[in-house]
Amino acid sequence: MKKTSTRLADGRELIYYDLRDDSVRDAVDRRPLEPTVTTSEVRRDPLLGDAVAIASHRQGRTYHPPADECPLCPTEGDRLSEIPDSSYDVVVFENRFPSLAGDSGRCEVVCFTSEHTASFASLSEEQARLVLDAWTDRTSELSHLPSVEQVFCFENRGAEIGVTLQHPHGQIYAYPFTTPRTALMLRQVAAHKDATGGENLFDTVLEQELAGERVVLEGEHWVAFVPYAAHWPYEVHLYPKRRVPDLLALDEAARTDFPKVYLELLRRFDRIFGPDEPPTPYIAAWHQAPFGALEEFDGVQRDDFALHLELFTIRRTSGKLKFLAGSESGMNVFINDIRPEAAAERLREVASS
């Protein structure tokens, strides 16, 4: 992998990740851009104790542009985009409309490929590995920023999810706090550790799932399963078999095995509802241990956390979405319309489709 860092016309950082070591990235951003102005701030809810990012400047962000005006495609002639070069393998750049900025963190965009009509599932294993390497590098770099406590790599895919740019891409959020979902996991890890005399909760869950009926697919170093208490109709968790706290700690064997397993999982997701259905909308979310202090979690260390990816779709059946209505949105109590065992069986069935 070759990494080349440059600056866009408004001063934002852009980084090319190339498969070839002889790639030259010297194209200049020719757009007449003014410096970005953001209004991001983080406020604490006094009743719940969680954080809310207030980012009113995002109302003006690009919204469903036509394909020939996509800002994530390479620059071509007089059609100028966020990527100055005429081609790329993987690109990461600072979001022009970030939810978090300055002392409140940082937001980046990850373009998986220059092909506008592609998807992550259509990438080659070599390309998918390059994305993994980019995620890992950005996790490392962002973790050293003084305001950053947790790094979150994720992909929103599909208009139903709320995606406003159809080009295959994901995002990276660098939070100045430990996110509420991660905090809940860490508290459960601490409670389990105390109740069992030191056992790791993630290890226990993984051992139980490996022995059960919800495993969807398994590689030499990774396993994908529908969790026992899945929140979403089709939800799969992907774990490395050797517990590590973050992407940085993955060994070469796990990195090599990842593209094959993950690409197969995404391709199965697209086949859940049949060959005539549009691509399945989904969210793919990497969960990594925070880089900040963990004193509030009763003796839990970073190494007690288990890196994993959670993949889920909001589509519950053909042509129907799972909406977060009263119980989910009002009380955070999910109601799943599909038994996790049935979802796992369906995802195994579509392997040969």
Pairing label, strands 308-313, 315-317: unpaired
Active-site option among 167, 169, 192, 287: 169
Residue 237 designated active-site:
no
The tokens for 206 are 């993984």
For residues 310 and 118, give the distance between their C-alpha atoms in angstroms, rounded to a whole number: 22
**What letter does residue 128 receive in the DSSP assignment?**
H
Q: Which two tokens stand for residue 137?
A: 């590098």
- CA–CA separation, 235 and 80 (whole Å): 38
CB 314 within 8 A of CB 335: no
Query: What is the Cα gyration radius of the chain?
Result: 20
In whole angstroms, give the CA distance from residue 170 to residue 110.
5
Tell whether the torsion through CA atoms of 211, 199, 245 and 328 is positive or negative: positive
Q: How far is the CA of 215 from the CAs of 218, 225, 272, 281, in angstroms?
A: 7, 4, 16, 22
Give the C-alpha separation, 150 to 293, whole Å: 11
In this structure, are residues 221 and 327 in contact, taking their beta carbons and an 8 Å threshold?
no
Name the residues annotated as catalytic.
Answer: 169
